[in-house]
């Protein structure tokens, strides 16, 4: 059979099958879009982090890195340059900051570079001499930051290390200069100016090096000697390694959620495809009777699948592209406080190939799997279907229970295999649903004799029609899977959010009133204030009559192996330095006692596993002054993916060789209200200090907002699944109702009113979707537990593990009600079908 | 052309007792011969046709088409035989949302001919069946009787040697019924087509060369004038 002939046949058939084919296309496209958008988001972050250093500085190979946020003396640059084999050595200052413009603010990294070193905007910079550039008191701002802060020629404010500085924007780095940098959260300034802005004198945070050809090993050894135990020698792209490690848990959780969404999307597709089965089955029967060979029929079906797959791929990629650009865009969340991560979209070939392959798999599977017996087997005698169906249903229900058992095993024995567990749960939903549906229909049928309401009786009779069963099951299954996915994803996200909120509370509750650098960039209070500023502030605060005590809080990031850990060092006087809900192994009471004794720390779980640490173990931290501390307890990562360390502020000062605080914790006198003290402290600090005076409660709220923003992708995925579910079910149900117009016409002939038929359709829809959605919601709660366990185990996030009934009820209610509401319109028109369509002759 | 030798088929519904659809059926239809099979609903008429077309395999006995045992053929060979040597008209066939002439040509395009060649071949058949005015009408907009004639044209397309038809006149009025049966009768005479038609319509018996009655799966000979008595049992 010629391909042109097959295509013409396809076009002809499409007139009749357009609605179900479009529905199947939509289902596949939804799955592909979710898969593609989440893939692109992952590729974008990791790809950008890897390229940023070389895009700014060129082909540097090594770096000498300060272990302290206060950096190292600039004299080290000359010593590095004098090492044999060093071709180029470029000092860099890098500090987190907040840039405030006319329209808003943004968290950035201030990067100070020697002008000759930078590659950014070569064309622009080369017009000036080094001396001219050194004299510039302006910063270069990427286009992405400019669009957020909305500044032009007017001065902008930089909040940095607890200070406020006014400056001008001298250069906008657009995509033409450097596309990656243009989308990065950093501002660039000449080195000396950056040092002045940060008030750090002649200090730099790292030195990037390019060794002479073939001398890298020797230079590394020399550097190691120079670094001793107070500096780190690392590859130039080490930040990319750190970022990859830090982003992995977020990417894992997003990928897990996205994979489940894609699973849901492809299940929509598979079940939407079921609506096309009766048409194809009729065609295949006719062709076989006419004498078409299996090969010819396979060719005809392959064209169906190919067209569906190609169109669904295109639509899915288009929708996915829009989703990834507008909604599920790559968001590094609060990792941006420690890493300059660009969000320039980075689409890889594997993102495209995987998405198209998924679409093709769904299309070919959806076309061929239901047809395989019909195409390749003997011509089937129809009969005994009811009994066979009952047997299949019971076997399926048993298999569904086996899937639940498998999921339980995954939950308790290997939560890291959550994806397998979720696939098994999805299968359980599909396998148990026929029994649940038949159960509901049987109960309704038993009650039918006692029911006097005509509409309800008609609805129950319609559900009992064997000819409607497969399609009804397909629609109920679509709803079941969607609600299952939404409950599992939404519930796990809520559990994660609650866990992060608990961490935020545990971190901020160590003091009643915080005086810390203002701006979102210092959410974790990891930037030390300048020693002079700190001393002045402390003296002023001590003198206030409403203040009982002022204590120094210290904190920063510390690179331990490939982890940029978050160090929290509350003052010794803190009432509850370690919250019981953040302890994974050990006792909070004991840990608090040891914290006060000094020389002990709480280590997060992943870090402890990596270094085989247990309660009581000794571990030497790679701090500026390497210090051995003992493990008082194992804790969560406090919501910071690479891990967290909690020690007292005195131990911190010793290990970092600096008494510079990151914040002051103010305790009010007992007879003075917190609000009164806050006002006094604000006045004492002054309006232009760059410090914020906040209550613990306010900081906790800020933490909630930040963690919510960090999880926004997960919320969006959960919402998308719900929206897709409503659309898919409404479309599927509308198609089913439209196909049933002859049956409705027959019922009119039998004397049923149109309104009665319409209401009966709505009741039938409610029963059908309600059963499906309820099955999905119940099993979804189990999925929520599994996902929460997986998140806690795999990512180390502080997840609160609970089964949320509310989200299950809401998802069930929203999907069912919305789908019934949408179906009401086509149902109304279908119920008004003219009885004359029965009499075509 | 078609020879049934002691053909039997039974099937089982769930765990119940087997149902005998056809039991020991034997008959032979020569080229140019038109044979009618009558029987009440559920007597096994459609099963007999499907056995004859190689769509079902008998439990016992043989079905020979043009001397070849069709039940012994592979699915591919049986399909090839249906495409090139048989015309099969099923009781329920769906129409394509396409012009009548394309619906009629569907069998021929399976023989790797172009749509145009296929349409050229079926056009005279459709005209002969009274469909000349409605060649381009969408299949979905044809009356049931018109659809029936399009399907008969489809079955007769490609000059089959054997026609197997299940209730070919079920949707036709008596005048059309006579016309359509007359066309089949004439084709049998003109081309040597052998035809096995299963039907309820006692009027059709008058043009048949032979008549069989199928009751409870058993095939018996019957004279046309004895048909009413035979059917009433």
User: Residue B98 and residue A12: Cβ atoms within 8 Å?
Assistant: yes
The winner for highest mean pLDDT among A179-183, A570-574, A638-642 is: A570-574
Chain A to chain B Cβ contacts (< 8 Å): 96
* Nearest by Cα to A381 from B143, B170, B101, B46: B46
Interchain CB distance below 8 Å, B110 and A840? no
Task: For residue B228, give the H/E element and its range.
Answer: helix B227-232
Name the strand (E) or helix (H) holding A271. Answer: helix A238-274
Mean pLDDT score, A775-797 = 83
Most confident of A671-675, A719-723, B17-21: A671-675
- Inter-chain residue contact B82 with A291, CB threshold 8 Å: yes
Mean pLDDT of A394-404: 90
Out of A5, A283, A289, name the one closest to residue B53 (CB): A289
Residues of B in contact with A291 (CB under 8 A): 79-84, 86, 88, 107, 110
A46-64 CB burial, b ≥16 within 10 A, e <16: bbbbbbbbbbbbbebbbbb
pLDDT exceeding 70 applies to what percent of chain B?
94
Q: Are strands A138-142 and A72-73 parallel, antiparallel or unpaired?
A: unpaired
* Lookup: tokens for A278: 């009766």
- Asked if A815 and A481 touch (Cβ cutoff 8 Å), the reply is no
A1 contacts B110? CB cut-off 8 A: yes
CB of A678 closer than 8 Å to CB of A695: yes
SS (H, E, C) B25-91: EEEEECCCCEEEEECCCCCCHHHHHHHHCCCCCCCEEEEEECCEEHHHCCHHHHHHHHHHHEEEECC
pLDDT in tens, chain B (233 residues): 889 899 998 877 655 677 788 888 888 999 999 998 988 777 788 888 888 888 888 888 999 988 888 878 887 788 888 888 898 888 777 788 889 999 899 888 888 788 888 899 999 999 988 888 889 998 888 888 888 889 989 999 988 999 998 888 877 788 888 888 888 888 888 889 999 998 877 777 778 888 888 887 788 887 766 666 555 55
Which phi-psi region, left, alpha or beta, contains residue B64 (left: φ > 0; alpha: ψ -120 to 50)?
A: beta
CB contact under 8 A, A13 and B96: yes
Q: Measure B215 CA to nearest chain A CA, in Å.
A: 20
Neighbours of A793 (CB within 10 A): 15
Note the pLDDT tens digit of each residue in A618-671.
Answer: 999 999 999 999 999 999 888 888 899 999 999 999 999 999 999 999 999 998
Instruction: Please check the confidence at residue A276 and state whether its pLDDT lies above 80.
Output: no
> CA A191 to CA A340: how far, in whole Å?
17
Q: Are A717 and A265 in contact (CB under 8 A)?
A: no
| Distance between CA atoms of residues A573 and A709, nearest Å | 33
Which CATH code for domain B2-91+161-232? 3.40.50.300
Q: Find, among A179, A186, A235, the residue nearest to A60 by Cα.
A: A235
The single-letter DSSP state of residue A528 is P
Average pLDDT over residues A798-825: 82
In this complex, the residue of A2, A15, A286 whose CB is nearest that of residue B93 is A286
User: Of the candidates B14, B50, B97, which has its C-beta nearest A12's C-beta?
Assistant: B97
CA dist A360 and A311 (Å) reads 10
Q: Of A261 and A700, which is predicted with more confidence?
A: A700
3-state secondary structure B118-181: HHHHHHHHHHHCCCHHHCCCEHHHCCHHHHHHHHHHHHHCCCCCEEEEECCCCCCCHHHHHHHH
CA torsion sign for A756, A759, A761, A767 is negative
Question: What is the mean pLDDT of the segment spanning A98-119?
Answer: 80
On chain B, the residues whose CB falls within 8 A of the CB of A384 are 11-14
Q: B54's torsion region: left (phi>0), alpha (psi -120 to 50) or beta?
A: left
Task: For chain B, say whether A742 makes contact (Cβ under 8 Å).
Answer: no
Helices A712-739 and A805-831 pack at an angle, to 10 degrees, of 30
Question: Using alpha carbons only, what angle is made at residue B201 by residues B197 and B207, rounded to the nearest 5 degrees?
Answer: 60
- Cα separation of A321 and A407, whole Å? 34
Tell me how far apart the alpha carbons of residues B160 and B65 are, in angstroms, rounded to a whole number: 12
Alpha-carbon distance values, B30 to A4, A831, B50 (Å): 39, 53, 19
| CA dihedral over A288, A292, A295, A298, signed as positive or negative | negative
Nearest one of A719, A806, A41 to A498, comparing CA atoms: A806
Residues of A in Cβ contact (< 8 Å) with B86: 291
Q: What is the pLDDT of residues A126-135, one digit of tens each?
A: 455 556 656 7
Q: How confident is the model at residue A387 (pLDDT cuts 50, 70, 90)?
A: very low
B96 to chain A: which residues are within 8 Å by CB?
A: 9, 12-13, 16
Whether B165 and chain A come into contact, CB under 8 Å, resolves to no
> Is B97 at the interface with chain A, CB within 8 A?
yes
Note the pLDDT tens digit of each residue in A732-767: 777 777 777 888 887 787 777 888 888 888 888 888
Q: With b meaning 16 or more CB within 10 Å and e meaning fewer, what string describes A280-294? A: beebbbbbbbbbbbb
Testing the interface with A: which of B74, B97, B165 to mutate, by most A Cβ within 10 A?
A: B97
Calpha distance A231→A171 (Å, rounded): 33
> Mean pLDDT over all residues of chain A?
82
pLDDT in tens, B145-189: 888 889 989 999 988 999 998 888 877 788 888 888 888 888 888
The mean pLDDT value for A799-819 works out to 81
Whole-angstrom distance, CA of residue A635 vs CA of residue A796:
9
Distance CA A148, CA A105 (A): 7
> How does pLDDT run across A429-465, given as a tens digit for each residue?
888 988 888 888 888 877 766 666 777 777 877 777 7
d(CA A472, CA A485): 20
Spatial distance between the Cα atoms of B215 and B217, rounded to a whole number of angstroms: 5
pLDDT tier, A383 (very low <50, low <70, confident <90, very high otherwise) = very low
From the number of C-beta atoms within 10 Å of its C-beta (0-12, 13-18, 19+), residue A304 rates as buried
Q: Decide if A564 contacts A246 (C-beta within 8 A).
A: yes
Closest chain A residue to B53 measured between Cα atoms?
A: A289
| A632 in Cβ contact with A594 (< 8 Å) | yes
Residue A313: what pLDDT? 93
State the Cα–Cα distance between residues A391 and B14, nearest whole angstrom: 9
Of the pLDDT bands very low, low, confident and very high (cuts 50, 70, 90), residue A600 is: very high
User: Given this model, what pLDDT does residue A22 score?
Assistant: 84
How far is residue B168's CA from residue B196's CA, in Å, rounded to a whole number? 11
How high is the ipTM of this complex? 0.82
A282 interaction partners in chain B (CB closer than 8 Å): 94
C-alpha torsion angle, residues A380, A386, A392, A397 (rounded to 10): 160
Q: What is the mean pLDDT of residues A22-51?
A: 73
Contact A328, A251 (CB under 8 A): no
Asked if the model's pLDDT at residue A382 lies above 50, the reply is: no
Minimal-distance CA residue of chain B relative to A296: B110
Q: How many other C-beta atoms can be found within 10 angstroms of the C-beta atom of residue A243?
A: 25
Q: How many other CB atoms sit within 10 Å of the CB of residue A672?
A: 15
Residues facing residue B11 across a β-bridge: B19
Per mean pLDDT, which range of A59-63, A651-655, A715-719 is the poorest? A715-719
Average pLDDT, integer, range A368-387: 62
Question: Max CA-CA distance within chain B?
Answer: 52
Q: What is the pTM of this model?
A: 0.70
pLDDT confidence of residue A652: 96
- Quote the pLDDT of residue A385: 44
Tokens coding A410: 């995954």
For residues B67 and A277, the answer to whether their CB atoms sit within 8 Å is no
**Residue A260 — very low, low, confident or very high, per pLDDT cuts 50/70/90?**
low
* Residue pair A216/A759 in contact by the 8 Å Cβ criterion: no
- Cα A484 to Cα A782: distance, rounded to the nearest angstrom: 9
Residue of B96, B105, B141, B159 to mutate, testing the A interface (most A Cβ within 10 Å of its Cβ): B96
- The listed range with the strongest mean pLDDT (A76-80, A451-455, A779-783) is A76-80
Geometric angle at alpha carbon A435, from A433 and A439, rounded to 5°: 115
Nearest to A284 by CA among B94, B118, B14: B94
Q: Does B225 touch chain A (CB under 8 A)?
A: no
Residue A581 has pLDDT above 60, yes or no: yes
Q: A131 CB near a chain B CB, below 8 Å?
A: no
Report CA-CA distances (Å) from A377 to A23, B45, B62. Answer: 28, 23, 20
| Token digits of residue A111 | 């990067």
* Distance, C-alpha A165 to centroid of its chain: 35
Instruction: State which H helix or E strand residue A89 sits in.
Output: strand A86-100
Q: Is the pLDDT of residue A787 over 60?
A: yes
Is B98 touching A (CB cutoff 8 A)? yes
Dig out the tokens for A107 from the structure.
């968290």
pLDDT value of position A132: 63
Determine contact, residues B63/B226, Cβ cutoff 8 Å.
no
A2 has pLDDT over 90 = no
A3 touches chain B (CB under 8 A): no
Structure tokens at B119: 């349409």
Pairwise CA distance, residues B58 & A676, whole Å:
98
Residue from A4, A21, A278, A290 whose CB has the most chain B CBs within 10 Å, to mutate: A290
């Amino acid at each position: 059979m010629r391909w042109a002939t097959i295509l013409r046949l396809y076009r002809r058939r499409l007139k009749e099958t357009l609605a179900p084919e479009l529905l199947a296309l939509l289902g596949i496209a939804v799955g592909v879009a979710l898969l593609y958008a989440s893939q692109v988001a992952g590729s974008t972050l990791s790809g950008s982090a890897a390229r940023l250093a070389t895009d700014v500085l060129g082909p540097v190979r090594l770096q000498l890195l300060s272990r302290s946020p206060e950096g190292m003396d600039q004299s080290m640059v000359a010593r590095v340059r004098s090492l044999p084999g060093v071709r180029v050595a470029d000092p860099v200052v890098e500090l987190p900051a907040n840039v405030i413009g006319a329209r808003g603010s943004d968290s950035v990294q201030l990067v100070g570079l020697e002008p000759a070193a930078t590659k950014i905007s070569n064309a622009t910079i080369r017009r000036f001499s080094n001396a001219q550039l050194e004299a510039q008191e302006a910063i270069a701002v990427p286009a992405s930051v400019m669009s957020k802060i909305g500044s032009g020629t007017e001065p902008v404010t930089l909040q940095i290390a607890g200070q406020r500085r006014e400056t001008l924007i001298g250069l906008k780095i657009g995509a033409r200069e450097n596309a990656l940098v243009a989308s990065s959260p950093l501002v660039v300034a000449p080195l000396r100016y950056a040092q002045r802005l940060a008030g750090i004198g002649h200090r730099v945070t790292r030195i990037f090096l390019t060794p002479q050809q073939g001398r890298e090993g020797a230079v590394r050894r020399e550097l190691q000697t120079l670094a001793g135990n107070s500096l780190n020698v690392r590859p130039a792209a080490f930040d990319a390694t750190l970022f990859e490690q830090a982003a992995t848990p977020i990417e894992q959780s997003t990928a897990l959620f996205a994979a489940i969404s894609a699973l849901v999307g492809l299940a929509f597709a598979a079940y939407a495809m079921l609506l096309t089965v009766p048409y194809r089955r009729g065609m295949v029967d006719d062709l076989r009777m006419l004498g078409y060979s299996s090969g010819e029929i396979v060719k005809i079906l392959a064209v169906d699948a190919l067209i569906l797959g190609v169109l669904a791929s295109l639509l899915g990629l288009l929708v996915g592209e829009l989703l990834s650009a507008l909604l599920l865009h790559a968001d590094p969340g609060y990792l941006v406080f420690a890493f300059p991560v660009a969000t320039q979209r980075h689409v890889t070939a594997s993102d495209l190939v995987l998405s198209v392959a998924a679409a093709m798999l769904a299309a070919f599977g959806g076309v061929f799997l239901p047809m395989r017996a019909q195409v390749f087997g003997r011509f089937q005698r129809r009969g005994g279907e009811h009994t066979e169906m009952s047997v299949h249903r019971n076997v399926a229900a048993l298999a569904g229970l086996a899937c639940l058992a498998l999921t339980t095993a995954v939950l308790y024995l290997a939560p890291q295999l959550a994806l397998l567990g979720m696939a098994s749960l999805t299968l359980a939903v599909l396998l148990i649903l026929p029994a649940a549906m038949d159960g509901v229909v049987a109960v309704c049928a038993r009650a039918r004799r006692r029911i006097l309401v005509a509409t309800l009786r008609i609805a129950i009779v319609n559900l009992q029609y064997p000819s409607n069963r497969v399609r009804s099951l397909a629609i109920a299954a679509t709803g079941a899977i969607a609600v299952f996915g939404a409950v599992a994803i939404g519930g796990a996200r809520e559990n994660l959010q609650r866990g992060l909120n608990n961490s935020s509370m545990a971190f901020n509750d160590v003091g009643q009133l915080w005086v810390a650098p203002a701006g979102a960039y210092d959410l974790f209070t990891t930037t030390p204030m300048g020693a002079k500023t700190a001393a002045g502030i402390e003296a002023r605060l001590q003198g206030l009559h409403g203040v009982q005590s002022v204590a120094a809080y210290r904190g920063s990031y510390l690179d331990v192996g490939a982890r940029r850990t978050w160090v929290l060092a509350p003052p010794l006087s803190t009432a509850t330095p370690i919250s019981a809900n953040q302890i994974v192994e050990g006792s909070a009471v004991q840990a608090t006692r040891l914290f006060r004794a000094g020389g002990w720390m709480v280590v997060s779980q992943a870090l402890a596993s990596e270094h085989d640490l247990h309660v009581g173990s000794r571990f030497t931290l790679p701090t500026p002054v390497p210090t051995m501390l003992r493990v008082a307890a194992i804790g969560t990562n406090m919501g910071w993916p690479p891990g967290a360390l909690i020690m007292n502020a005195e131990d911190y000062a010793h290990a970092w060789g600096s008494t510079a605080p990151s914040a002051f914790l103010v305790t009010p006198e007992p007879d003075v209200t917190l609000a009164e003290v806050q006002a006094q402290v604000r006045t004492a600090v002054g309006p232009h200090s760059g410090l914020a005076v906040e209550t613990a409660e306010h900081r906790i709220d800020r933490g909630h907002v930040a963690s919510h923003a960090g999880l926004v992708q997960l919320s969006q995925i959960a919402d998308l699944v719900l929206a897709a579910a409503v659309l898919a079910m409404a479309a599927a149900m509308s198609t089913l109702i439209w196909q049933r117009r002859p049956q409705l016409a027959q019922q009119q002939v039998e004397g049923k009113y149109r309104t009665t038929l319409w209401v009966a359709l709505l009741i039938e829809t409610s029963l059908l979707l309600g059963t499906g959605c309820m099955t999905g919601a119940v099993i979804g709660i189990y999925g929520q537990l599994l996902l929460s366990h997986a998140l806690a185990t795999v990512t180390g996030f502080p997840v609160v593990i609970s089964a949320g009934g509310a989200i299950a009820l809401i998802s069930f209610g929203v999907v069912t009600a919305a789908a019934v509401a949408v179906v009401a319109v086509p149902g109304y028109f279908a119920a008004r079908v003219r009885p004359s369509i029965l009499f075509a002759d | 052309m078609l020879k049934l030798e002691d053909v039997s088929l039974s099937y089982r519904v769930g765990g119940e007792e087997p149902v005998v659809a056809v039991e020991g059926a034997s008959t032979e239809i020569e080229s140019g011969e038109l044979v009618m099979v009558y029987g009440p609903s559920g007597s096994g008429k459609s099963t007999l046709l499907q056995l004859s077309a190689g769509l079902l395999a008998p439990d016992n006995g043989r079905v020979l088409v043009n001397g070849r045992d069709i039940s012994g053929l592979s699915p591919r060979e049986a399909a090839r035989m249906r495409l090139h040597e048989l015309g099969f008209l099923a009781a329920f066939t769906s129409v394509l949302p396409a012009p009548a002439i394309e619906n009629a040509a569907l069998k021929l395009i399976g023989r790797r001919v172009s749509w145009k060649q296929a349409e050229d071949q079926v056009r005279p058949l459709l005209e002969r069946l009274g469909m000349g005015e409605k060649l381009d009408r969408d299949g979905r907009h044809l009356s049931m009787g018109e659809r029936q004639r399009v399907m008969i044209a489809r079955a007769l397309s490609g000059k089959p040697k054997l026609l197997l038809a299940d209730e070919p006149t079920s949707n036709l009025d008596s005048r059309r019924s006579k016309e359509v049966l007359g066309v089949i009768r004439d084709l049998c005479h003109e081309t040597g087509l052998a035809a096995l038609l299963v039907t309820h319509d006692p009027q059709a018996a008058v043009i048949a060369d032979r008549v069989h009655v199928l009751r409870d799966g058993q095939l018996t000979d019957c004279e046309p004038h004895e048909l009413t008595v035979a059917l009433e049992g």
